[in-house]
Structure 1
Amino acid sequence: MQINQSQASFDNFIASAFVIPDKTFKEPVANKNPLVETPFTPLPLGSIEAKGWLLKQLELQRDGATGYAEDLYSELGTDAAWLGGTAPESDWERPVYYLKGLIPLAYTLKDKDLIATSQKWINAILESQREDGFFGPANDDWWPRMVALYALKDYYEASGDERVLPFMTNYFKYQATHLPTQPLKEWGKMRVGDNIDTVLWLYNHTGDEFLLDLSDLLAGQGYPIADLFNNNKFQDFGDDFHPTHTVNVNEAIKMPAIYYQRSHSKNDRDAFQAGVKNLSNHTQITGMPSGTEMLAGISSTQGVELCAITERMQSNEEAAMILGDPHIGDALEKIAFNSLPGAMDKQIKNHQYYSLTNQVESNYADHGFKQNHSNGMMPSPTSGFACCRFNMHMGWPYLVKNMWAASADGGIGVIAYGPSKVSVMLKDANVTINETTNYPFEDQIKFDITASKKVQFPLKLRIPAWSVNPTVTVNGEPVKAVKAGEYVSIDRKWKSGDEMVLQMPMKLKTTTWVNNSIGIERGPLVYSLQMNESWQVENKPIAEVPGFNASALGFNEYSVKAENPWNYGLLIDRQHPEKSIDVITGPMPENPFEQETTPVKLVAKAKKISTWGKSANNVEAAEPPVGPILSTEPTENIELIPYGAQNLRITYFPEVTESLADTGAAKYEAEQADIFRAEVRTNAAHASGRSYLGGIDFAESYVKFNQVVVPKAGNYNVDIWFANGNGYNASTGKMIVNGEVHSLKYQGTHGWGRFMATKIEVPLNKGTNTIMFMKDQGFYELDYIVVRPLQKKGS
């Protein structure tokens, strides 16, 4: 990359080094014809300020991982390729990932130092453009430039820098010319939605029609992404791992919705929610699909990658605006308030590459993941592979940037709730809305309106589907037709001093997970067993800048161990958890994700399960025993706290009972089934009971469970524990339930004899049933199955 060092360029740098938005109230830029008119339009960066606990997260990020990133990582040093240098690994996605988070953090906080830091990178990028429009380091990969374009888009919205629009126009002309002979590949082919997103954004600012054709060209060169999500084809690409790579999946899920704005296709429009449904065979209690790094089923011993969390948050933010579906906002909050803080330390200095629902230790281990990283579950500035340490920075800032959006009918609406202030121009009036709340740690949100003049517009509130008897009042008067799971629109003349209050009562509920385990939720928060965490420095990262003492500032690699018992089962009425769980609320601290001061705790009834221990690697908790489990152990009170308030946790609890009733939940070991042309393999450390079935290699091979007994007829979930060591190639099998054939896909696992879980819903008869497994294409091994009742509606 060549950087122009002319005096003019230097003057531009000085002039723009401390660009801070000079106009508080900005008008959003909606879609131009022929693009679809979307229910919501993003507000320009800088329109929304964080307040309260949410502001604290941004400040911790500024004073921690983001603020010190350039001291910690050589890819961000003065010799970075995106700055014109030659540092190893600095010419691809890592610096621009970091920049994508740095810019919204800097301009949301209006922090001059962060703005100056981001300006250094922006100027280098802008000055790197060649005459033909290409820019950046010498590599010819389209993908990292897609990330850089997001940074430029956000920077333009915040600063109004006139260099950006012609820069992007020239680059997109280069793409239009060169894509036919240099098509998308690999990462860019799967993440093409990011490219289309910025193309359509530029079209809305310039109206250049060639951009519409470019969006079509890009969509045509990508994977068949709408088909992937609509028809569950993630494992249909053989050795090509890209369509099952968890970051790709969570990033690409927004692509059909983005392109729908151009295509007007129902197939594109519906792909997001179809994808949510089809990913349910991987989805965990926090709303995130498992992925280590490939989609990883429903097991509690499979984790979630931090990159996937931040990408899925952005996907939900954008899809919620394009589609107007309030359920997407519900899902966004669940991920943001649980998965995101749960994957970082509470000072936002160190991160975990993978985080698990049931994680009782963070240490070096063979975790059995498809992509193993021995330190991938340890809080560290260098945990796992090097992508997440750069991509994590956009999580909180992008949430704030996208909490509010302009509505198509001239108003404004909520995408996600949290303490904030939004300033926007609506119908020639400057409007500010202060959102005062400790949500999601409390259930009341207050909105105070300030306007430069009386102005009529609709204000749209997303009413979460989980809320019980929600209410809205304006100046004390109740609003009619407030329904959970919908938007309520209050269209009136607003004036300064108007006050609106949203009350969303939170009810405890149980949800059912792998091996019939129980999860506890209240509002958007998931609750986990409070752990006594012991943190020990294992490795002190070497500072990249002489004299910078990273360790003294808390940037270390830590092992974390639980110093309390964790092998509890819940004594609970699944339909009425409030009968055995007390909700304890306390004062709101600055940072609610610190375990000691988190403002909401639950006290539940539980019993220890002496047979529940760790997995074979002696780090992860073993899979939850299948309950209900009859127990004579003493009943204890245990405390549950929000999922994000610690790094160790038990979230999927077995159920214990004092009087066993037949619920239909049971575990069936494959080696105890009726088998033909298959073989029992023993002394297997990673198998249940150290035994499993292999050699299911022939067309006539079968594994028949003849005594599957349930108390009543109906649909049940069957959890299937399988292994497929054939790389990334999925195998298929036949599951025959009382004579009815069901098809199954078994994705690649960490190896043969290393098991993963999937689930399928099937009808069973009252009494005895037969479930038989046979081979189809490829090979697989079976460890055991679990039959469990479906979650009852409303619980």
Structure 2
Amino acid sequence: MANHNTQPPIASANRESGKLFKAPVANKKPLIETPFTPLPLGSVAAKGWLLKQLELQRAGATGYAEKLYSELGEEAAWLGGTAPESDWERPVYYLKGLVALAYTLNDEELIVTSQKWINAILASQRKDGFFGPETNDDWWPRMVALYALKDYYEATSDERVLPFMTNYFKYQAAHLPHRPLRDWGKMRVGDNIDTVLWLYNHTEDKFLLELADMLAGQGYPITDLFTYNKFQDFGDDFHPTHTVNVNQSIKMPAIYYQRSHSETDRDAFKVGVKNLSNHNQITGMTAGTEMLAGISSTQGVELCAITERIQSNGAVTMILGDPHIGDDLEKIAFNSLPGAMDKQVKNHQYYSLPNQVESDYADHGFKQDYSNGTMPSPTSGFACCRFNMHMGWPYFVKNMWAATADGGIGVIAYGPSQVSVRLKDVNVTIKETTNYPFEDQIQFVITTSQKVSFPLKLRIPAWTVKPSVTVNGEPVEAVKAGEYVSITEEWKTGDKVVLHLPMKLKTTTWVNHSIGIERGPLVYSLQMKENWQIKHKPIADLPEFDPSALGFNEYHVKTDNAWNYGLLMDRKNPEKFINVVTRPMPENPFQQELTPVKLVAQAKKLPTWGKAANHVEADEPPVGPILSTEPTEEITLVPYGAQNLRITYFPEVTESLTETGAAKYEAEQAEIFHAEIRKNEPHASEGSYVGGIDFAESYVKFNQVIVPEEGQYNIDIWFANGNGYNSATGKMIVNNEEYVLTYQGTRGWGRFMAIKIEVPLNKGSNTITFMKDQGFYELDYIVVRPLYINGS
């Protein structure tokens, strides 16, 4: 085995006062020219609060990972050892994040640690080009290792890497025809194609283009999955509906579009995002536990899916140039990512939920249920996320800036940072000073080794109102929300650009007509008095290492305050009922007690809104508006990522009831034919639901669905399908219009999930009928709710 501590020097010509200056490597023909080109790892440095997150990660989850987990010890298979469970994805997941963190921080200790793994991988290559543990020949974990090697090469220019990757890809090209992709690699093939095309841009070896075609041909039909909403069309094969697969593979069509030039591949991301709206959560993530999980407030998001979607959105934004994808990237990174970890970045939650009022062992009703899956812990849930979480913040930072096709530099996502890049043979540094997203002003100060003309492209978020940009105090024209603004100047040291992105309060509408509150890219949740109690202390394999004393524990988290509030609200003018309160920026804005922006809202308690049948999760929000005579109280909302317990989807309460058309209709109270009412089911609304919709003539008919105005409405449908991973379809007839709905497999019969569909309704009375089509399903209740211009 090679010396694990060998570290190739970084070319000094690329370094200047600790900054890395490298020219980006754009696509070579016949690959398409993309609007943006990724910058080499190390080009972007975090500053301010964002740097603090990386430092906490270094001092916490990443810094102690090799002591916490036996898969990362000296006997790991990726280091040449035989430790159990260490020859597949876990060590290389960790390494991918470790390399990105080490070179983003330019941290000597982390660099040395990562070098041990890099050297072992490089030394493991056989004469035929294959590499990695001999006990596992799966293509999939090697896709992850290749990302770590790619990032490492960008930061170091280690001359061993390109020949290594070339030899491996020659091996792949020779062996894929008789040993094709399978399982995870078949679904995550975009990762493999991504590194193949990256290598092509460095070597221009033509066989790599043919290899990309072969890989695309062996993967699942991923473009079709996203374009035609086919996630549920694979019977008991769960891979296309697995949430990590979905959020990881959503980048594949755009990646392959660089080679295919296919408009269908190009458009699959945007169409796919729309098709996934039946699983959307307020943070921009798709619910998945572990399978796609509908719109419920108590279905969760897997942490692996969050980190993979951060990478996917960053990569696709550069290929397509769509500023809206950058909006979503920020929303996920600023809400979902910190919301799934403790605020010292030591412990993580496998699943995080928009409405979660306790974290404890429980039967959560998830398709893949882990009793500790919502508990902050170094071992929460299945063992993938504890290794994959490390790339979240580093990959966000890495992809914040990118080179532009016209020779400039552009912003993919905002935050305190500094980018150093070589443009037109000139060293250029841009320091971005801001407390964004906790404030709305961003300042860029430019430093150049000599005067140089290039375009600076700034993404203007779609949510902002009346944005503005100045260059050295002079206003820039044509700054529009939802677009990029390009500023071309002959830049010199000291030039200053100021971007102002005014943030307005916004309501969005979610399951059961509940209300979500947003401001800029941040989502807000009820402030909870979290009470953390150690449930389990992990025992490390290493002597004289006590992880519990360092805060690495499994925690039972409960709240000491009331959480069952409904909001008094004007959905179109939330500022009537909410005040924004700001205070000085702390080091770590995700510490709840220090967070610099809070909202004070008017609310009333709803005494009938309690916990779900497992006595841990909140029950689903009751359908409002609800007429309430409870006293009005002021409640405080904090950023979603500032706590681990939260209420984010609030019912609406009112003091004078007005008819909106929002109403709940219980299936057991409808007209029923050749079906049966089933009672005493604790997981069903009101304890009862309708099953046995098993015959062609079976139906559940809601005869008096009353709405005040003609127009488009959402219908939330609460169903169960206990037939494993196999989906069922059912007919829904709205007045005289027939729809076919897909009901995916749920935890079991009598365990309900929600989907939504948009339909036209007539003013006054409407009839909605549910019937059998293919397979079987059960019906609990439906919610009819109006659409809002800014709602969901």
TMscore range, shorter length: over 0.9
How far the C-alpha of 1:544 sits from its partner, in A, is 2.2
Supply the distance in 2 between the matched residues of 1:339 and 1:13 (Cα, whole angstroms).
36
2:448 to 437, 447, 451: 451
1:232 aligns with 2:238: no
Q: Which residue of 2 aligns with 1:111?
A: 107
SS of corresponding position for 1:226: helix
1:712 aligns with 2:704: no
Given that 1:19 and 1:115 are in contact with CA atoms closer than 8 Å, whether structure 2 keeps it comes out as no
Instruction: Output one character per residue of 1:330-349: Cα deviation in whole Å (capped at 9) or x when no partner.
Output: 00000000000000000000
1:744 to 741, 745, 749: 741
Letter in 2 for 1:187: W
Q: Which residue of 2 aligns with 1:349?
A: 346
SS of corresponding position for 2:683: coil
Given that 2:509 and 2:516 are in contact with CA atoms closer than 8 Å, whether structure 1 keeps it comes out as yes
Supply the distance in 2 between the matched residues of 1:749 and 1:444 (Cα, whole angstroms).
45
Given that 1:534 and 1:562 are in contact with CA atoms closer than 8 Å, whether structure 2 keeps it comes out as yes
How far the C-alpha of 1:17 sits from its partner, in A, is 8.6
SS of corresponding position for 1:595: coil
Q: Which residue of 2 aligns with 1:666?
A: 663
2:277 to 272, 276, 280: 280
SS of corresponding position for 1:596: coil
Letter in 1 for 2:514: S
Letter in 2 for 1:14: T
1:14 aligns with 2:11: no
Supply the distance in 1 between the matched residues of 2:13 and 2:679 (Cα, whole angstroms).
67
Q: Which residue of 2 aligns with 1:562?
A: 559
Instruction: Output one character per residue of 1:631-674: Cα deviation in whole Å (capped at 9) or x when no partner.
Output: 00000000000000000000000000000011000000000000
How far the C-alpha of 1:792 sits from its partner, in A, is 2.1
Letter in 1 for 2:325: I
How far the C-alpha of 1:14 sits from its partner, in A, is 3.0
Unaligned runs of 5+ in 2: none
Instruction: Output one character per residue of 1:488-524: Cα deviation in whole Å (capped at 9) or x when no partner.
Output: 0001111111100000000001000000000000000
Supply the distance in 2 between the matched residues of 1:42 and 1:203 (Cα, whole angstroms).
15
Supply the distance in 1 between the matched residues of 2:791 and 2:221 (Cα, whole angstroms).
35
Aligned ranges for residues 4-403 of structure 1 at < 5 Å? Answer: 9-10=2-3, 13-16=5-8, 22-23=14-15, 24-138=20-134, 139-403=136-400
1:610 aligns with 2:607: yes
Instruction: Output one character per residue of 1:219-274: Cα deviation in whole Å (capped at 9) or x when no partner.
Output: 00000000000000000000000000000000000000000000000000000011
How far the C-alpha of 1:18 sits from its partner, in A, is 9.2
Supply the distance in 2 between the matched residues of 1:336 and 1:269 (Cα, whole angstroms).
24
Supply the distance in 2 between the matched residues of 1:121 and 1:297 (Cα, whole angstroms).
39
Q: Which residue of 1 aligns with 2:729?
A: 732
1:572 aligns with 2:564: no
Instruction: Output one character per residue of 1:172-221: Cα deviation in whole Å (capped at 9) or x when no partner.
Output: 00000000000000000000000000000000000000000000000000
Supply the distance in 1 between the matched residues of 2:435 and 2:723 (Cα, whole angstroms).
49
Divergent runs of 4+, >4 A: 17-22
Supply the distance in 2 between the matched residues of 1:473 and 1:569 (Cα, whole angstroms).
42
Given that 1:99 and 1:118 are in contact with CA atoms closer than 8 Å, whether structure 2 keeps it comes out as yes
Instruction: Output one character per residue of 1:386-417: Cα deviation in whole Å (capped at 9) or x when no partner.
Output: 00000000000000111000000000100000
Supply the distance in 2 between the matched residues of 1:328 and 1:433 (Cα, whole angstroms).
23
How far the C-alpha of 1:15 sits from its partner, in A, is 4.7
Letter in 2 for 1:396: W
Given that 1:57 and 1:591 are in contact with CA atoms closer than 8 Å, whether structure 2 keeps it comes out as yes
Instruction: Output one character per residue of 1:714-745: Cα deviation in whole Å (capped at 9) or x when no partner.
Output: 01000000000000000000000001100100
Q: Which residue of 1 aligns with 2:579?
A: 582
Q: Which residue of 2 aligns with 1:466?
A: 463
How far the C-alpha of 1:19 sits from its partner, in A, is 9.3
Supply the distance in 1 between the matched residues of 2:10 and 2:736 (Cα, whole angstroms).
71
Given that 1:732 and 1:778 are in contact with CA atoms closer than 8 Å, whether structure 2 keeps it comes out as yes
Greater shift in the superposed pair: 16-25 or 400-409: 16-25
Would you say how many aligned residue pairs link Structure 1 and Structure 2? 787
- Alpha-carbon distance change, 292 to 20 in structure 1, aligned in 2, over 3 angstroms: farther
SS of corresponding position for 1:625: coil
1:421 to 392, 415, 418: 418
Letter in 2 for 1:117: T
SS of corresponding position for 2:98: helix
Supply the distance in 1 between the matched residues of 2:538 and 2:772 (Cα, whole angstroms).
49
- Alpha-carbon distance change, 15 to 70 in structure 1, aligned in 2, over 3 angstroms: closer
How far the C-alpha of 1:545 sits from its partner, in A, is 1.2
Supply the distance in 1 between the matched residues of 2:143 and 2:675 (Cα, whole angstroms).
50
1:643 aligns with 2:640: yes
Supply the distance in 2 between the matched residues of 1:747 and 1:32 (Cα, whole angstroms).
43
Instruction: Output one character per residue of 1:747-779: Cα deviation in whole Å (capped at 9) or x when no partner.
Output: 000000000000000000000000000000000
Given that 1:692 and 1:783 are in contact with CA atoms closer than 8 Å, whether structure 2 keeps it comes out as yes
Given that 2:44 and 2:419 are in contact with CA atoms closer than 8 Å, whether structure 1 keeps it comes out as yes
Given that 1:694 and 1:782 are in contact with CA atoms closer than 8 Å, whether structure 2 keeps it comes out as yes
Q: Which residue of 1 aligns with 2:536?
A: 539
Supply the distance in 1 between the matched residues of 2:469 and 2:690 (Cα, whole angstroms).
58
Supply the distance in 1 between the matched residues of 2:7 and 2:183 (Cα, whole angstroms).
39
- Alpha-carbon distance change, 40 to 18 in structure 1, aligned in 2, over 3 angstroms: closer
Supply the distance in 2 between the matched residues of 1:72 and 1:546 (Cα, whole angstroms).
12
Given that 1:282 and 1:296 are in contact with CA atoms closer than 8 Å, whether structure 2 keeps it comes out as yes
Instruction: Output one character per residue of 1:7-52: Cα deviation in whole Å (capped at 9) or x when no partner.
Output: xx43x84353999995321000000000010000000000010000
Given that 1:362 and 1:559 are in contact with CA atoms closer than 8 Å, whether structure 2 keeps it comes out as yes
Given that 1:20 and 1:110 are in contact with CA atoms closer than 8 Å, whether structure 2 keeps it comes out as no
How far the C-alpha of 1:684 sits from its partner, in A, is 0.4
Q: Which residue of 2 aligns with 1:6?
A: none
Unaligned runs of 5+ in 1: 4-8
Given that 1:20 and 1:159 are in contact with CA atoms closer than 8 Å, whether structure 2 keeps it comes out as no
1:622 aligns with 2:619: yes
Letter in 1 for 2:180: P
Identity %: 80
TM-score (norm 1): 0.98
Supply the distance in 2 between the matched residues of 1:313 and 1:19 (Cα, whole angstroms).
30
Instruction: Output one character per residue of 1:536-568: Cα deviation in whole Å (capped at 9) or x when no partner.
Output: 000001112111110000000000001000000
Greater shift in the superposed pair: 492-501 or 257-266: 492-501
SS of corresponding position for 1:502: strand
Supply the distance in 2 between the matched residues of 1:514 and 1:608 (Cα, whole angstroms).
19
How far the C-alpha of 1:287 sits from its partner, in A, is 0.3
SS of corresponding position for 1:644: helix
Given that 2:7 and 2:112 are in contact with CA atoms closer than 8 Å, whether structure 1 keeps it comes out as no
TM-score (norm 2): 0.99
SS of corresponding position for 1:195: helix
Supply the distance in 1 between the matched residues of 2:207 and 2:671 (Cα, whole angstroms).
64
